[in-house]
Amino acid sequence: NAGVMQNPRHLVRRRGQEARLRCSPMKGHSHVYWYRQLPEEGLKFMVYLQKENIIDESGMPKERFSAEFPKEGPSILRIQQVVRGDSAAYFCASSLGRLNEQYFGPGTRLTVT
């Protein structure tokens, strides 16, 4: 009965490096969402994926950010050439369907030095 898994829980990167964040949805869930939470703020939607498809990436920055959810394996949020402003908590959520409740993982806290 595992929930949504995210790893790593904490990630430190220097400016210019790449960050890869992983998310394994709850068993049976094929819908995955990524959110970003800046300090002292609520979560902001980034991207919504189903297996092998990006459904909605309206919240993703246009450059340096990409996401995938392959047929096998976890969903990946990739941030290239990180900058200090990318420091945030990144949450993944999964659901049975678009109109079902979203269950969140524990988050990955990215720190860019």
Partner 1 sequence: AQKITQTQPGMFVQEKEAVTLDCTYDTSDQSYGLFWYKQPSSGEMIFLIYQGSYDEQNATEGRYSLNFQKARKSANLVISASQLGDSAMYFCAMREDSGGGADGLTFGKGTHLIIQP
Q: Which residues bind partner 1 (CB under 8 A)?
A: 33, 35, 41-48, 55-56, 58-59, 89, 91, 93, 98-99, 101-107, 109
Q: Cβ 55 to partner 1, closest distance in Å?
A: 6
Nearer to partner 1, 18 or 56 (CB): 56
Shortest reach from residue 20's CB to partner 1, in Å: 20
Q: Return the number of the residue (9 or 15) whose C-beta is nearest partner 1.
A: 9
Q: Exposed, middle or buried by CB within 10 Å (0-12, 13-18, 19+), for 64?
A: middle
CA 57 to chain centre: 12
- Amino acid making up residue 85: G
Q: Are 57 and 33 in contact (CB under 8 A)?
A: no
Nearer to partner 1, 20 or 109 (CB): 109
- Residue 98 Cβ, how far from partner 1 at the closest point, in Å? 6
